[in-house]
Amino acid sequence: MRCLLVVASLLLGSAWSSMAAEVTVHLSDGQGHAVNDAVVMLTTDAAPATAPVPERPVTHIIDQRNETFIPYVQVLRPGDKVVFRNSDTTRHHVYSFAAIRTFEFVLRPGESSPELSMDKTGIAAVGCNIHDHMIAYLFVSAVPATTMSSHGGDAMLSHLAPGHYTAHVWHPQLHPGHPEPIQKVTIASDADVLHLAFTLSLMPDPRMSMDREHLDY
């Protein structure tokens, strides 16, 4: 996955900035419910004309409310920074043992972590060592055409150059070992607006919000 992200970013970057074509993607589960928090990427095999223009690093806030990380999934560019903010009335011990970045922060109520730079591409699962049911994902991608689905299950990628692409979808609750959901996409002109639909088979949400009945100590 990491190699794919790096190669795709080099290939796609030049075509990114001034084009007008759009691809909209709708994601739903087997019951027809909209799927949010899915990452959608468009990659291409075409050779780049120029190197991609580096974007300014952005700092993303991962909040903790009601013993839940918000957002569940955060897309970052390499070099982006992340800050963990504790808006709960209880302590959290935020950590990750991901291959792309290991870290830990003990955060008192109201406290925020220092900025953490995410330089490598890949996926980092983030947990709380005090509350095991808390989980979030940092998706670090160098692919310019990367976005996330909204609460309506829709994602939009714009400024695309004509060409042949592959649309990739990632979600934390996809079944491990199953083939990655992909679709081939061809953009014929700058004015194209294409619509894709993915039906995802998802595992149950592993997050358990504060539940009086299930204590999870």
Catalog residues that contact another protein under the rule CB under 8 A: 90-91, 93, 95-97, 102-104, 106, 108, 125, 129-130, 173, 175-177, 203-204, 206, 211-215, 217
Q: Which is nearer to another protein, 74 or 96 (CB)?
A: 96
DSSP state of 77: -
Place of tokens 């027809």: 32
Among 195, 157, 126, 138, residue whose Cα is nearest residue 8 = 157
Q: Which is nearer to another protein, 7 or 106 (CB)?
A: 106
Q: Which is nearer to another protein, 46 or 106 (CB)?
A: 106
Q: Rounded to the nearest whole angstrom, what is the least distance from the CB of residue 113 to another protein in the complex?
A: 14
Alpha-carbon span 75 to 121, nearest angstrom: 11
Q: Rounded to the nearest whole angstrom, what is the least distance from the CB of residue 149 to another protein in the complex?
A: 19
Q: Rounded to the nearest whole angstrom, what is the least distance from the CB of residue 60 to another protein in the complex?
A: 21
- For residues 146, 78, 201, 61, the Cα torsion angle rounded to the nearest 10 degrees is -100
Alpha-carbon span 16 to 33, nearest angstrom: 31
Alpha-carbon span 113 to 17, nearest angstrom: 34
Q: Rounded to the nearest whole angstrom, what is the least distance from the CB of residue 173 to another protein in the complex?
A: 7
Q: Rounded to the nearest whole angstrom, what is the least distance from the CB of residue 130 to another protein in the complex?
A: 6
Q: Rounded to the nearest whole angstrom, what is the least distance from the CB of residue 83 to another protein in the complex?
A: 19
Is the CB of residue 127 less than 8 Å from the CB of residue 64? no
Q: Which is nearer to another protein, 102 or 189 (CB)?
A: 102
Q: Which is nearer to another protein, 18 or 89 (CB)?
A: 89
Q: Which is nearer to another protein, 81 or 93 (CB)?
A: 93
Please spell the DSSP secondary structure of 121-185, one letter per residue. -EEEEEEESS-TT-EEEEEE---SSEEE--TTSEEEEEEEPSEEEEEEEE-TTBPTTSPPPEEEE
Question: How are beta strands 116-117 and 122-128 bridged, if at all?
Answer: unpaired
